[in-house]
Chain A
Amino acid sequence: MKNMILMFLFCIVYQNGTAQNYVPTIKNNTELNYVCKLHGQTRTLTLTAQTVGDGLTFKLETRGVKSSIVMLPEAIKNGTELSFNQGEYAPVLNLKPSETFFMISRSAYQDLLKKGSFVYNNTTYILDNNEDKNSVSIDGKTVETLHVIAQIDETEMWIIKNPEFPLICKIIKNPLGINPTLVKVTDR
């Protein structure tokens, strides 16, 4: 009986040890697969990361659109807004120094950690401390995220707990109508 209890405890400890939460990182050629719900329709979208120095380019592919969206190092560091243009105009879209794409800036992420909120596109996003909502499942793995809710518009976003690349892995209630969810991350 004693052995059985010990075995049971071992199993619980082992389970906790192996169930470490997954934090995706962005490397050169990391492929991010999203499924977007928009205006009653569903479409897939792929971002392939290309890291050059401190900059980051996402090669975006979705039906009818192929574009490289270039984020500047200063945007990754201190950006204050998400780009709304999403690759429809040019094969290469150079974002403004203040613009990021599918991620928030490192400084915004730090604000979120320190102050429990950050401001992006003139919108204040407040950290939701409800633990039930602070993880997202991607490809069967639990990913640690920070869940934020926008004031006024009430958009909800889940941001991956990665201070280097605070990727947005899920959006709901987006008043702009596009709600992506990250479903798979592949490092190539």
Chain B
Amino acid sequence: MKIYSKNILLGISFLFTIAVNAQIVHQYVDPMIGSEGVGRVFIGPSCPYGMVKPSPDCTSSPNSGWLPMPKEVTGFSQVHVSGTGGGPKYGNIQIMPFSGALDKMDQTSFRTEENVKLGYYETVFKENNIKTEITTGEKVSFYRFTYPKNKSRELKIDPGFFLGEEKIPEAREAQQFVGSQIEIVSETEVRGYSRIRGGWNNGRAYTVYFWAVFDQPIAKYVTYKDGKFYNEKAQFDSGKKTAALLSFGNGKEELKVKIGISFLSELKAKNNIEVEVPHWNFDEVLKTLENKWENLLSRIQLSKDTSEDYKKMFYTGLYHTMIMPVNRTGENPLWTNDEPYYDDFYTIWDTFRTSSPLITLIDSKRKVEIINAMLNIYKREGYLPEGRSGNDNGRTQGGSNAEVVIADAFVKNLKGIDYELALQAMLKDAEVPPGGNEEREGRGGLIDYLKLGYVPYGTDRAGNRTVDYAYNDYNIAIVARGLGKTDLYERYIKQADSWQNLWRGDYENNGAKGFIMPKDKDGKWLDDVVFGESKIQKPTFKYTPVIIESPWYVCHWCVFFYEGNSWEYSLSIPHDVPELVKKSGGEKAFESRLNTFFDSELYNVANEPSFLTPCLYHWIGKPYLSSDRIRAIIKRSFNTSREGLPGNDDSGAMSSWLAFHMMGLYPNAGQPYYLINTPFIKETVVKLENGKSFKITTKKMSDKNRYIKSALLNGKPYDKAWIIHDDINNGGELILEMDSKPSAWGTVILPPKK
């Protein structure tokens, strides 16, 4: 009995230890971080990779729907994206509560307050005191409206609304109305759809079907089409905007609404409600959502003494990483099969560097699903996605970056992917011009690239296309080698040097020598580049390495470098940094170049092309300088405020960059290692899906002691400032002993070479 008692006590204390160590973490997610300023994150409730994302729309202009108070709220729509730039997408099936006569469509209201947390949104309107609460399932959004006592309860359902509406019929990047339909099916049900085309990716029409159910009967209604109200129950699709205004009378104050969404049909939308949320318990839906997030977020645990702010920044970073792409398995209107279907790769150009590797680390089974969905798109549509949204490929910005995602999975040994098929898909990008569809998929300027070894000026975005294609060719080479295809490897590893064909070795700027610069088809370097399409005038502007894209009056889409300048892209050679160092004049010159880049504000914290650059000091044996740069960037540009992200979050790209660096790891996507930097967290435990854990522990770390003095991996001295994925995936512990001054640690064995 004594032994039993001891065991029971031990058991209790063990359980207690687990409970203490495994903290509940989802409450640290603050969906408002990055919602203002340039972050543009989605602030409403969403399941992980959730198809439905309900949120207020504050006019039709913002990308994520939401804008800060005092901006008015036009309504609440069910589908949104997070962190995007350019023309908005989605904003479909809008609803809006109001009190009063059923005689006007505009029910715009102003907010008096707003309360947002993971999975939950609440606001109260100034004009009518109506409270709106929202939570969501994967495919069903759930609303709880509370009307003031003795006020009538009305609701607008508007499938004619969408984000980014412009008057110009074919405006580039603008969504365009195609059609809508609405029908009052019974006293508690309304169904219909919204069909919209265009948006940022200039995609073909997509249709969002809905089935709305109410917990109380409709007392009165009117339907709407093209500016007029009708007493009929239904308005069929005649290419005009339709809607319904419903009244639920003066009964109890509360009204609950569930909106099932489907990309297949109204009945499928209804079925989504029946399967996912067959009850009327708002809190249960919220709890289910919280549990889904907790399961994912808690896979990375931070030491208990981590500051509240760091916990918020970190877990919100993970949260943002996993709200896109969206899981539309079972909702694919384009073909039928049992394979996973994901949409809103928005865009892989943004996400391949950090979001995709972070999903691999936390949620590798999901990553396998996402890649299989990408391969499925290739099988059915001929090309891998790049900026796919609304069931349509497009737009390409630079490389065929799905290659990086596939190579990253391959080198990290993710199982369950047909890599032979994946290699075929990569080769399609690399060898078959997309035939007039360069803006949608594949590689624009491919014929020239293969013939000349670079994309000449005159093809849109020739500079970053060349640089990106070279890296994508490296990705192909690595997968080919791994699959035993030596000839292919040999060819593509040579092609991976193509960036060197645009390297103008003698060009000097701000004390640095050698830049990626525009060159024409005849091999002539271009200092003055022609713009416009005039048949007579050939105006030029002087191209220099500091010009971001182009002067303001030149087409930003047709320029040499997309969203960046030559200083940035000339440092963006992730597969061959040693050659880059050499071409820049050696280690000393390279260090000076990096210092100029950061100190002269040529570095753009707001965009992805420079994501790896703060780590480049690793390749000259000075990882402590990388850590210094990263620390300064995070302290200056990231925080827990609504403006706490320095650039568009781009489906979690910016957030995942932060999350990796807070752990002290940074992936070089497409390659099997992470660079090690000074963490922001004293102890981080990554619970891997294979059941193992990897712990990163710091000793004596403080603001002063911010340099790594020595390291132990699983108890053995570890002298490299980088670690391969397998070492993490096999579980174990990396202990970093910190000091107040830089040391020789990590300075000798440099990161892997091409």
- With most chain B CB atoms within 10 A of its CB, the pick from A86, A89, A123, A177 is A177
Say if the beta carbon of B551 comes within 8 Å of chain A: yes
Q: Are B172 and A153 in contact (CB under 8 A)?
A: no
Say if the beta carbon of A7 comes within 8 Å of chain B: no
Stretch touching chain B among A23-31, A38-46, A48-56, A126-134: A38-46
> Interface range on chain B: under 10, 10 to 19, 20 to 34, or 35 or more?
20 to 34
Bound together, the chains give a CA A177 to CA B539 distance in angstroms of 12
Q: Is the interface of B mostly helix, strand, loop or mixed?
A: loop
Say if the beta carbon of B173 comes within 8 Å of chain A: yes
Partner of A86, one of B533, B551, B557: B551
Bound together, the chains give a CA A156 to CA B350 distance in angstroms of 40
Q: Are A86 and B173 in contact (CB under 8 A)?
A: no
Q: Are A38 and B553 in contact (CB under 8 A)?
A: yes
Shortest A66–chain B CB gap in Å is 11
Say if the beta carbon of B704 comes within 8 Å of chain A: no
- Please name the residue on chain A nearest to B537 by beta carbon: A121
Q: Is the interface of A mostly helix, strand, loop or mixed?
A: loop
Within 8 A of A (CB), among B555-579: 555-558
- With most chain A CB atoms within 10 A of its CB, the pick from B536, B541, B556 is B536
Say if the beta carbon of A178 comes within 8 Å of chain B: yes
| B540 contact set on A, CB distance < 8 A | 84
Partner of A177, one of B171, B173, B541, B554: B554
| A39 contact set on B, CB distance < 8 A | 172, 555-558
Say if the beta carbon of B531 comes within 8 Å of chain A: yes
Within 8 A of B (CB), among A97-149: 121-123
Q: Are A177 and B532 in contact (CB under 8 A)?
A: yes
Within 8 A of B (CB), among A56-80: 62-65
Partner of B539, one of A36, A38, A84: A84
| B335 contact set on A, CB distance < 8 A | none
Say if the beta carbon of B552 comes within 8 Å of chain A: yes
Within 8 A of A (CB), among B639-654: none
Bound together, the chains give a CA A128 to CA B621 distance in angstroms of 69
Q: Are A176 and B532 in contact (CB under 8 A)?
A: yes
Say if the beta carbon of B753 comes within 8 Å of chain A: no
Shortest B459–chain A CB gap in Å is 16
Q: Are A177 and B542 in contact (CB under 8 A)?
A: no
Bound together, the chains give a CA A99 to CA B539 distance in angstroms of 13
Say if the beta carbon of A4 comes within 8 Å of chain B: no
Partner of B537, one of A38, A40, A122: A122
Within 8 A of A (CB), among B136-173: 171-173
Given known A-B contacts A40-B173, A88-B541, A89-B542, A178 and B553 have beta carbons under 8 A apart: yes
Partner of A65, one of B541, B552, B554, B555: B552
| B558 contact set on A, CB distance < 8 A | 39
Q: Are B552 and A175 in contact (CB under 8 A)?
A: no
Shortest A136–chain B CB gap in Å is 19
Bound together, the chains give a CA A85 to CA B551 distance in angstroms of 9
Q: Are A86 and B553 in contact (CB under 8 A)?
A: yes
- Please name the residue on chain B nearest to A39 by beta carbon: B555
Bound together, the chains give a CA A62 to CA B551 distance in angstroms of 12
Q: Are A177 and B555 in contact (CB under 8 A)?
A: yes
| A62 contact set on B, CB distance < 8 A | 552
Q: Are A152 and B536 in contact (CB under 8 A)?
A: yes
Within 8 A of A (CB), among B79-125: none
Partner of A176, one of B172, B539, B542, B552: B539
Partner of B533, one of A41, A88, A177: A177
- Please name the residue on chain B nearest to A81 by beta carbon: B537
| A153 contact set on B, CB distance < 8 A | 534-537
Q: Are A85 and B541 in contact (CB under 8 A)?
A: yes
Q: Are B535 and A176 in contact (CB under 8 A)?
A: no
Within 8 A of A (CB), among B496-536: 531-536
| B532 contact set on A, CB distance < 8 A | 175-177
Shortest B358–chain A CB gap in Å is 32
Shortest A172–chain B CB gap in Å is 13
| A36 contact set on B, CB distance < 8 A | 553
- Please name the residue on chain B nearest to A154 by beta carbon: B535
Q: Are B533 and A40 in contact (CB under 8 A)?
A: no
Bound together, the chains give a CA A160 to CA B535 distance in angstroms of 26
Q: Are A176 and B534 in contact (CB under 8 A)?
A: yes
Shortest B122–chain A CB gap in Å is 35
Q: Are B555 and A175 in contact (CB under 8 A)?
A: no
| B531 contact set on A, CB distance < 8 A | 176-177
| B553 contact set on A, CB distance < 8 A | 36, 38, 86, 176-178
| A64 contact set on B, CB distance < 8 A | 552
| B173 contact set on A, CB distance < 8 A | 40
Shortest A120–chain B CB gap in Å is 10
Q: Are A63 and B552 in contact (CB under 8 A)?
A: yes
| B554 contact set on A, CB distance < 8 A | 177
- With most chain B CB atoms within 10 A of its CB, the pick from A41, A64, A123, A178 is A41
Shortest B566–chain A CB gap in Å is 16
- Please name the residue on chain A nearest to B534 by beta carbon: A175
| A122 contact set on B, CB distance < 8 A | 536-537
| A177 contact set on B, CB distance < 8 A | 531-533, 553-555
| B172 contact set on A, CB distance < 8 A | 39-40
| A175 contact set on B, CB distance < 8 A | 532-535, 537
- Please name the residue on chain B nearest to A65 by beta carbon: B552
Q: Are A88 and B536 in contact (CB under 8 A)?
A: no
| A43 contact set on B, CB distance < 8 A | 552
| A178 contact set on B, CB distance < 8 A | 553
Given known A-B contacts A38-B553, A62-B552, A88-B551, A152 and B539 have beta carbons under 8 A apart: no
Shortest B26–chain A CB gap in Å is 39
- Please name the residue on chain A nearest to B553 by beta carbon: A178
Given known A-B contacts A64-B552, A65-B552, A88-B551, A176 and B537 have beta carbons under 8 A apart: yes
- Please name the residue on chain B nearest to A63 by beta carbon: B552
Bound together, the chains give a CA A89 to CA B541 distance in angstroms of 10
Bound together, the chains give a CA A65 to CA B535 distance in angstroms of 28
Shortest B622–chain A CB gap in Å is 34
| A85 contact set on B, CB distance < 8 A | 541, 551
Bound together, the chains give a CA A63 to CA B553 distance in angstroms of 11
Bound together, the chains give a CA A122 to CA B171 distance in angstroms of 31
Shortest B164–chain A CB gap in Å is 12
Bound together, the chains give a CA A95 to CA B732 distance in angstroms of 67
Bound together, the chains give a CA A63 to CA B558 distance in angstroms of 20
Bound together, the chains give a CA A84 to CA B531 distance in angstroms of 10
Shortest A130–chain B CB gap in Å is 24
Within 8 A of A (CB), among B170-214: 171-173
| B171 contact set on A, CB distance < 8 A | 40
Which residues of A come within 8 Å of B, CB atoms? 36, 38-41, 43, 62-65, 84-86, 88-89, 121-123, 152-153, 175-178
**A43-B552, A177-B533 known, 7 other contacts, Cβ within 8 Å:** A40-B173, A41-B556, A84-B537, A84-B541, A175-B534, A175-B537, A176-B534
Which are the 5 A-B pairs with shortest beta-carbon distances? A40-B172, A176-B532, A84-B539, A175-B534, A88-B551
- 18 example contacts (A-B, Cβ-Cβ < 8 A) are as follows A39-B557, A40-B171, A40-B172, A40-B557, A62-B552, A64-B552, A84-B537, A85-B551, A89-B542, A121-B536, A123-B537, A152-B535, A153-B537, A175-B533, A176-B532, A176-B537, A177-B531, A177-B554
